[in-house]
């Protein structure tokens, strides 16, 4: 936690675009899958709308788990299903993954060659197909520092009504990654949601 983040939390600017999309599109009774729990802010916000029992949050950074659980408890949503692991696509073959825990938690991500200053740990993997089948969410929101590029190799299930993705273009080899994400979600029956989208926050919904 830094003074800057404290200030943004107090003003409502922290993860403002994600919060706006959740408040705009999430409906009572829907099941939510959050990839990248961060501080637990968006998960707690979603749980206030749909109930903690309908929210599953995933976080790869082991350093954040205690803080997330504490924040859920402070906000009366301790019943959120918090799972530890890095979400991967079907092409990944291992059972664990190297994850770089940065000093600033929001910069933590799947380890790359340039992450020499970060502490690298092995974390369990959670495959996107199995996760979607297990949770059966209607609403999926993710902010996973570039790892979203690996999650759209095959069609998503029809149970998903809304997807909100924080894109990280600097982490992609080319802009084709964004096209591949949008094309696959389009083939899955989801279309661009211009009202909920903002900047690098891409929203798609079933219509």
Q: What is the pLDDT of residues 116-161, one digit of tens each?
A: 667 899 999 999 999 999 999 999 999 999 999 999 999 999 999 9
Q: Residue 8's pLDDT is what?
A: 82
Averaged pLDDT for residues 91-116: 82
Averaged pLDDT for residues 39-62: 97
Q: Residue 106's pLDDT is what?
A: 72
Our separate counts of H helices and E strands in the chain read 6, 11
Q: Residue 112's pLDDT is what?
A: 76
- Residue 171 CA to residue 146 CA, distance in Å, equals 5
Give the pLDDT band (50/70/90) at residue 102: confident
């Amino acid at each position: 936690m830094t003074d800057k983040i404290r200030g943004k939390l107090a003003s409502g600017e922290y993860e403002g675009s994600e919060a706006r999309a959740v408040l705009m599109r999430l409906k009572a009774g829907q099941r939510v899958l959050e990839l990248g729990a961060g501080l637990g802010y968006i998960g707690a916000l979603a749980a206030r709308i749909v109930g903690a029992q309908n929210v599953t949050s995933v976080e790869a950074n082991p350093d954040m788990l205690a803080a997330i659980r504490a924040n859920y408890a402070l906000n009366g949503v301790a019943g959120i299903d918090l799972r530890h692991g890095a979400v991967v696509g079907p092409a990944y073959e291992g059972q664990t993954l190297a994850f770089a825990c940065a000093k600033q938690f929001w910069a933590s991500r799947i380890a790359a060659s340039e992450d020499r200053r970060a502490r690298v740990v092995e974390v369990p993997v959670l495959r996107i197909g199995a996760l979607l089948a297990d949770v059966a969410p209607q609403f999926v929101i993710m902010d996973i520092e570039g790892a979203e590029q690996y999650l759209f190799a095959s069609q998503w299930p029809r149970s998903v009504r809304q997807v909100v993705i924080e894109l990280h273009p600097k982490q992609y080899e080319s802009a084709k990654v964004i096209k591949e994400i949008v094309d696959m979600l389009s083939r899955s029956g989801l279309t661009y949601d211009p009202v909920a989208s903002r900047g690098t926050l891409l929203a798609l919904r079933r219509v």
